[in-house]
Amino acid sequence: MKIVFLEPLGLPMAMIETACSGLKQLGHEVVVFSDRDDNPKVLKQRAAGAQVIVESNMPLRKDFFDACPDLKMLSIAFTGLDHIDTEECVRRGIVVKNAAGYSTEAVAELALAMMIDVYRKVIENEKITRGCNVKGIMPGREIGGKTVGIIGMGNIGQRVAQLLSVFGCKVLAWNRTPKNIPGVSFVDKAALLRQSDIVTVHIALNRETKDFITADDLAIMKPSAILINTARGPVVNEQDLADALKKRVIAGAATDVYSKEPPLQNDHPLLDAPNLIMLPHIGFATEEAFVQRLGIVVDNVEKWLR
């Protein structure tokens, strides 16, 4: 079969070639493109004749599948699949596998980093230091002892809870299905929002979770509370969050995800929101996570072939 990597997945070509050596020994053709190009026309050209495609988070819709009639399997180097037209894949009998779990540690650690950054005003104080104004420091707050509400208790949410235990935090959680996790109290959504000093979001994006956090939800949070989003952009209504920050409904926020992938448009509602840290979707992006997901996507292809 022809197996095409539409991108190098952030890794050296030699590493991918080594990981695919077993596939080549079995007689499969493996094609790896050395750069990432989101242009739909380029993606179709690269995928021509492929039975198996490997890629991360570039959108693949019906027009792409129309151009790839031989496609039988997608090995997605990403956790979420909202960028893939999965209904079209089902209709065409295309198997889709994701790289579940590869970025659990990376995203959980970033969520903690964002909490600390917002609380300790790291970016603001860095700017003060560069401005040679050491008398203008901005005092921060401590995470220790705070109540943290975790929305979504999958692998990432559970790892965040474990990391927070080191700080002595009280951990509340909302999950579609409550779980028995030591040290975590499961409550309803409203109770979590009302009681938490920090709310961190870790749910997948689907029809039920789009706009899961809106103006009404932000309004019942503490005025001193902060919101962290490393899940998916549309889970939090971006305009409502911007308005809440401008009106000081909540004290601050940090987001790594957006309704559309960065680079953002100049009129994006969050760009002029105060007390907000904006990152360019780096939650998954660590060297360790990239290596782990390469192993997962190749293993997914091998299992499917078997």
Just list the catalytic residues.
232, 261, 281
167-170 contact pairs (CB < 8 A, 24+): 167/143, 168/144, 169/143, 169/144, 169/145, 170/145, 170/146
Contact between 202 and 214 (Cβ < 8 Å): no
Give the Cα-Cα-Cα angle 283, 288, 294 (nearest 5 degrees).
Answer: 95
User: What is the bridge-based pairing of β-strands 184-186 and 170-174?
Assistant: parallel
CA neighbours closer than 13 Å in the CB half-sphere of residue 9:
31
Q: Which residue has the tokens 């870790």?
A: 202
Edge-to-edge strands, sheet with 95-97 = 29-32, 2-5, 52-55, 73-76, 95-97
Q: List 84's β-bridge partners, or say none.
A: 60
Give the integer Cα–Cα distance in Å for 154 and 284. 16
As a whole number of angstroms, the distance between CA 146 and CA 294 comes to 37
Residue at token pair 């230091």: 129
Burial group, residue 239, by CB count within 10 angstroms (0-12, 13-18, 19+): middle
